[in-house]
Amino acid sequence: MLAVAVCVFATMVVAATQASSSAGMQQAPSSATIQKPSPEAVAKALQQRYQGIKDFSADFVHNYRGGVLKTQTQERGKVSVKKPSRMHWTYTSPERKEFVSDGTKIYSYIPEDKQVIVSNVPADDQATTPALFLAGKGDIVRDFSASYVDSSIPGTIALKLTPRRTEPDYEYLIVAVEPGSLRIRALTTKDRQGGESTLVFNNLKENQGISDKEFAFTIPRGVDVVTDGSHN
């Protein structure tokens, strides 16, 4: 679960990207005579806006469809992110869960299990491509090849981002954005077991000056703490 959480944390930073025409994109084509921008141009614009985002928060709906077991789940919650490497995911339904990164440690807490799993934020030279985004040092153009795919979200275009190097945690990402503004609407991760994890975002706010206190995690009393596989 922790590895999945780290991947979701990291890919969410990609989803923080919210571009405008000043990043090199024009408004959505108004007629068939206007050509759609190349996927590489969209990726470049996403990267440019990503670099200007210091923090963001959003409501999210998380849908997961298993590849092997064919299970389906839907969860809801809120997320806050502050670069570099700070994140706070709070799942509110159907089960409460928290995943917090304070920039140094990652805490995974499921109250029903009465357990907190603690791990280190990966170093840059040990990180997968998603974790580089978690650290605020990723580059969409450098790390991914981009292509268009059909979008499942009405009123959006979808960009498939395939990592240029093989990643153990996922096969590719699909980012659904609004044409012109490139506001992120959804992010899908396809894992190597055939599973799909989709985050749909609402009420996205960026560069609000989120306090570091939002990313401080206090371990509850009476829970089992697992650090590097050891129980405390």
Torsions phi, psi for 16 (to 5 deg)? -70, -15
pLDDT of residue 123: 72
Q: Are strands 55-65 and 196-206 parallel, antiparallel or unpaired?
A: antiparallel
pLDDT of residue 28: 44
pLDDT of residue 217: 96
pLDDT of residue 63: 94
pLDDT of residue 1: 43
Question: CA–CA separation, 46 vs 20, rounded Å?
Answer: 9
Series of mean pLDDT values for 10-residue runs along the chain (232 residues): 42 38 43 70 86 88 86 94 89 95 93 94 65 64 92 91 86 88 85 89 92 96 86 68
Residue 228 C-alpha from the chain's centroid: 24
pLDDT of residue 132: 58
- At 13, which helix (H) or strand (E)? helix 2-15
pLDDT of residue 32: 45
pLDDT of residue 17: 36
Q: Is the peptide bond before 94 cis (omega within 30 degrees of 0)?
A: yes
Question: CA–CA separation, 144 vs 98, rounded Å?
Answer: 29
pLDDT of residue 228: 74
**Of the candidates 147, 197, 206, 154, the residue with the CA atom closest to the CA atom of residue 19:** 206
Domains of the chain in start order, with CATH, are 2-19+38-207 (2.50.20.10)
pTM of the entire predicted model: 0.78
